Amino acid sequence: MCCIVAYVVQREAYPILIYGLKRLEYRGYDSSGLSLLNGKLREFKRKGKVQDLVNFVKGKNVSGSMGIAHTRWATHGKPDDINAHPHQSGNGRLTLIHNGIIENYAALKTALLQEGHVFQSETDTEVLVHLIEELQTRSNLPLEEAVRVALTKVIGAYAIVVMDERDPGKLVAARKASPLVIGIGDGEFFLASDATPIVEHTQKVVYLNDEEIAVVTRDGELQIKDIGNEIKMPYIQQLDLKIESLGKGDYEHFMLKEIYEQPNTIADCMRGRINAAEGWIKLGGVDQVQERIAQSKRFIMAACGTSWHAALIGEYLFEELARIPVEVEYASELRYRNPIIDREDVVVALSQSGETADTMAALELAKEKGALIYGIVNNVGSSIARLTDAGSYIHAGPEIGVASTKAFTGQVTLLTMMAISLGYQRGTIPKSYYFQLLEELERIPGKVAKVLESDTQIRYIASEIKDANNALYLGRGYNFPIALEGALKLKEISYIHAEGYPAAEMKHGPIALIDENMPVVVIATNKSAYEKVVSNIQEVKARKGIVIAIVTEGDKIISSLADYSIAIPDTDEPLTPLLSVIPLQLLSYHIALMRGCNVDQPRNLAKSVTVE
Ligand code: M6R
């Protein structure tokens, strides 16, 4: 949620830190701050965007070759200058940035207040820096040891970096359940929540593991210990990330760029994994655990938000094509409800970031119960990717817009390949249908490109409904999860209240909401329930609702009933979601833009939800 970035030691730290904050701003953006060390600590903090911090700092002394910086997504205490990170110890010598939540902060704070500590902010983070100070001064401990002992007393999640004015040659960092990457440069180190600010400087990185503490020094040393004080060998990896993929290119927003990337990202997800001419699908992750999968009695898919919608499509795909029973779970519910999971289950975690706290916790629980854990993840090297027994990356490249688009189609592409492959192996789909689906899957990137050509028409429809206060999204079968996803996209970036429903459920409640002011988006490309969807549209029209229909090219009936219709190319029904979601992404993008909303960084949201 928050992001941290720190630098030691060759050059001026300030420009490196600001560049890093801008790269990471998508992870949290309600306030930001930094501390620089040049003999003395200097701290600058500001409510608002990183640019507000830059404006505030203008003309001030920002020299120093060591520093830490942070953008915040508020949990404890409102977003303001005081609650912004870094936080200082009472004696002003230590400064700390933190991503995560210290759950037992209240008890720790009470004890520290009794020792005479005085706090400036409402944050849980400030308690941790005072605790480190208390241990350091009371027992005369070196910084890294004080950090280690303090962390043994902490319950919660953290990625932290600490700097000590009296010990100017080093930074101490630690993580538990919140990501932290260390970039190793030529005599310099870069620490950050993810690799996006690091790749500019070095390709060599170490991903810190849970309960590990790293010390990086001015002399170019990197030492890692665990919280039990055992020395660990740093595992240095090469980054596979291109700087160009981190920019907006010629697009006005990351979200628009990512929507338009989808013909390529879907093709990248399939590259080397399917070949229709030769009739094969090959997923390395599945091959690795083929036997366990063959013996499994059901799949459980766990995810949050948009990834949960992809999982729901997975349920339809796996059950129809491979006849494998699937349960789809909100990770946040699964983790707390003592679920029945055992060795015969495969638990599939879907996550763009690979860092979502709820999804990670659900996986840990499933792992304890002996299930096979399979990850479908975008962010290479992320915590979830490392926690799984096997998995497949979706290869969508960095997704920076907070509203997920290309990661969703990547997840659905991957699930589709898995379901077709398992269906064929299990003999639940005939050979001819298997070949047909493979050929059609290879045509999907081209068909997505065709849908994107409707952009001008979609922009016009957006201008017609942009002032609505509510919207309803309806779909059946494979298009029901698409209705949920369309509604989520609209609400998260345009702040219009929207609900997704199975079309037939409308008459059991939501129909009461329909009047001449209610746009109803009906995803009506189904072949199997076509007449039923036509009836649903009639019901909406009878109540004067405004119907925006997503139809299959050549459809005359629904197009004549709807107020607006957007045609997508015909495809096999299990592959429809990959096409039908695209107009809904564009619709929400244009509506949000017309309403003057910040499309890439919508209010109250963060890209990566690393707290509960
Ligand atoms: O990184 P993840 O896929 O685990 O994230 C899950 C959700 O937080 C995420 O999909 C969220 O719902 C997005 N803002 C949707 O656009």
**Preceding amide of 9 cis, omega within 30:** yes
- CA–centroid distance, 193 to ligand 1, in Å, is 17
Where residue 73 falls among pLDDT bands split at 50, 70, 90?
A: confident
Cα of 115 from ligand 1 centre, angstroms: 42
What is the C-alpha separation between 574 and 363, in angstroms, rounded?
A: 27
Domain end marker among 431, 446, 461:
446
Q: What share of the chain is helix, strand, coil (3-state, %, to 5)?
A: 40, 25, 35
pLDDT digits (tens, 9 = 90+) for 8-47: 667 899 999 999 999 888 887 789 999 999 989 999 999 9
Residue 352 located in a structural domain: yes
The CA distance from 182 to 602, in Å, is 29
Q: Residue 482's domain is classified under what CATH number?
A: 3.40.50.10490
Domain limit, last residue, from 411, 429, 446: 446
Same domain, 435 and 521: no
With cut-offs at 50, 70 and 90, classify the pLDDT of residue 611: confident
Residue 2 has pLDDT above 80, yes or no: no
pLDDT at residue 608, rounded to an integer: 77
* Region 581-597 average pLDDT: 98
Q: For residues 442 and 464, state if they share a domain.
A: no
pLDDT of residue 244: 79
**Residue 411 placed within a domain:** yes
Q: Which pLDDT value is given to residue 433? A: 97
Residue 404 in contact with ligand 1 by CB distance below 6 A? yes
Question: What per-residue confidence (pLDDT) applies to 5?
Answer: 73
Nearest atom of ligand 1 to the alpha carbon of 305 = 12
pLDDT at 353: 94
pLDDT, greater one: 168 or 205: 205
Q: Kindly give the distance from the C-alpha atom of residue 307 to the centroid of ligand 1, in angstroms, as a whole number.
A: 6
- Are 379 and 194 in contact by the 8 Å Cβ rule? The answer is yes
b/e per residue, 409-447, with b = 16+ CB within 10 A? bbbbbbbbbbbbbbbbbeebbeeebbeebbebbeebbeb
605 CA: nearest ligand 1 atom: 14
Nearest to 496 by CA among 521, 476, 477, 525: 521
Q: What is the rounded (10 degree) CA torsion for 119, 50, 168, 116?
A: 0
Cβ of 383 below 6 Å from ligand 1 = no
Question: Is the CB of residue 383 less than 8 Å from the CB of residue 355?
Answer: yes
Residue type, 538: Q
- Asked if residue 221 has pLDDT above 60, the reply is yes
Distance between Cα 404 and ligand 1 center (Å): 6
CATH number for the domain spanning 96: value is 3.60.20.10
Give the pLDDT confidence score for residue 97 in this predicted structure.
96
pLDDT band per the 50, 70, 90 thresholds, residue 528: confident
User: Is the CB of residue 306 below 6 angstroms from any atom belonging to ligand 1?
Assistant: yes
Q: Which own/partner contact pairs does 483-487 have at CB distance under 8 Å and 24+ positions apart?
A: 483/521, 483/523, 484/309, 484/312, 485/306, 485/309, 485/408, 485/581, 485/584, 486/521, 486/523, 486/581, 486/584, 486/587, 486/588
Q: Is 532 a catalytic residue?
A: no
Q: Is the CB of 307 under 6 A from ligand 1?
A: yes
- Of 536 and 2, which is predicted with more confidence? 536
Mean pLDDT of 594-604: 93
The pLDDT, as a whole number, for residue 118 is 96
Q: How far is the CA of 433 from the centre of ligand 1 (A)?
A: 33
Do residue 47 and residue 66 come from a single domain?
yes
Q: Quote the pLDDT of residue 516.
A: 93
Amino acid at 96: L
Same domain, 394 and 371: yes
Pair 190, 324 in one domain:
no
Instruction: Give the mean model confidence (pLDDT) for residues 269-282.
Output: 96
Cβ-Cβ contacts under 8 Å for 368 (sequence gap 6 or more): none
**Nearest to 466, CA basis, from 495, 501, 500:** 495
Check pocket membership of 255 for ligand 1, CB cut-off 6 A.
no
pLDDT digits (tens, 9 = 90+) for 50-71: 999 999 999 999 999 899 999 9
Test site for ligand 1: of 193, 194, 307, 350, most ligand atoms within 8 A of the Cβ: 307
Q: Do residues 441 and 460 share a domain?
A: no
Distant-in-sequence, close-in-space partners of 475: CB < 8 Å, separation ≥ 6: 481, 482, 483, 500, 502, 503, 522, 523, 524, 580
CB 609 less than 6 A from any atom of ligand 1: yes
Q: What does the pLDDT read at residue 30? A: 86
User: Does residue 147 belong to any structural domain of this protein?
Assistant: yes
Q: Domain ends where: 446, 478, 506?
A: 446
Q: Look at residue 606 and tell me if it is in a domain.
A: no
237-251, 419-433, 585-599: segment of lowest average pLDDT: 237-251
> Residue-wise over 369-383: b if at least 16 C-beta within 10 A, else e?
eebbbbbbbbbbbbb
Which range is least confidently modeled, 3-7, 270-274, 487-491? 3-7
Atom index in ligand 1 nearest the CA of residue 489 equals: 16
- Whether pLDDT at 3 is above 80: no
Q: Is residue 572 part of a domain?
A: yes
Q: Would you say the CB of residue 601 lies under 6 angstroms from ligand 1?
A: no
Q: Which atom of ligand 1 is nearest to the CA of 607?
A: 14
Does a structural domain hold residue 610? no
For residue 402, which atom of ligand 1 is closest to its CA?
Answer: 14
Please check the confidence at residue 1 and state whether its pLDDT lies above 60: no
Mutate to test the pocket of ligand 1, among 309, 353, 355, 611 (most ligand atoms within 8 A of CB): 353
Could you tell me the two tokens for 161?
């970096």
Atom of ligand 1 nearest to the CA of 379: 1
| pLDDT tens-digit map of 375-402 | 999 998 889 999 999 999 999 999 999 9
Residue 607 lies in a domain: no
Q: Who has greater pLDDT, 295 or 192?
A: 192
| Beta carbons of 415 and 313 less than 8 angstroms apart | yes
Contact 47, 74 (CB under 8 A): no
Q: Across the chain, how many H-helices and E-strands are there?
A: 20, 27
Angle separating helix axes 455-465 and 577-594, nearest 10 degrees? 50
Q: Read off the tokens for 507.
A: 């008459």
Q: Are 394 and 413 in contact (CB under 8 A)?
A: yes
User: Is the predicted pLDDT of residue 598 greater than 70, yes or no?
Assistant: yes
pLDDT band for position 607 (cuts 50, 70, 90): confident
Are 159 and 95 in the same domain? Answer: yes
Report d(CA 92, CA 173) in Å as an integer: 19
Among the listed residues 45, 109, 176, 607, the single catalytic one is 607
Q: What is the pLDDT of residues 474-511, one digit of tens each?
A: 999 999 999 999 999 999 999 999 999 999 888 898 88
Say yes or no: 442 and 500 in one domain: no
- Catalytic member of 2, 3, 269, 304: 2
> What is the residue with the minimal CA distance to atom 16 of ligand 1?
403
How many Å lie between the centroid of ligand 1 and the Cα of residue 364? 19
CA 114 to ligand 1 center in whole angstroms: 41
Find out whether the beta carbon of 359 lies less than 6 Å from any atom of ligand 1: yes
Q: What is this structure's pTM?
A: 0.88
Average pLDDT, the chain: 94
Task: Supply the pLDDT for residue 4.
Answer: 63
Q: How many CB atoms lie within 10 A of CB 119?
A: 15
Q: Are residues 226 and 254 in the same domain?
A: no
Cα distance between residue 288 and residue 414, in whole Å: 16
Which residues is 163 bridged to in the sheet? 95, 171
> With pLDDT > 90 as the criterion, what percentage of the chain qualifies?
83
Domain that holds residue 252: 247-446
- Assess whether 262 and 238 both reside in one domain: no
Domain count, the chain: 3
Report whether pLDDT(136) > 80: yes
356 in contact with ligand 1, CB cutoff 6 A: yes
**Local confidence band at 243 (pLDDT 50, 70, 90 cut-offs):** confident
612 located within any domain: no
Mean pLDDT throughout 290-315? 95
Question: Mean pLDDT over residues 540-546, rounded?
Answer: 93
Residue 424 sits in the same domain as residue 465? no
Amino acid present at 446:
G
Q: Is 269 one of the catalytic residues? A: no
Rounded mean pLDDT, 392-416:
96
**CA of 106: how far to CAs of 120, 146, 321, 379, in Å?**
15, 20, 52, 34
Provide the 3-class DSSP secondary structure of residue 373. strand
> Which of left, alpha, beta for 226 (phi over 0: left; psi -120 to 50: alpha)?
beta
Cβ(392)–Cβ(270) below 8 Å: no
Tell me the CA–centroid distance for residue 305 and ligand 1, in Å: 5
Q: Do 172 and 292 reside in the same domain of the chain? A: no
Q: What is the mean pLDDT of residues 85-100?
A: 95
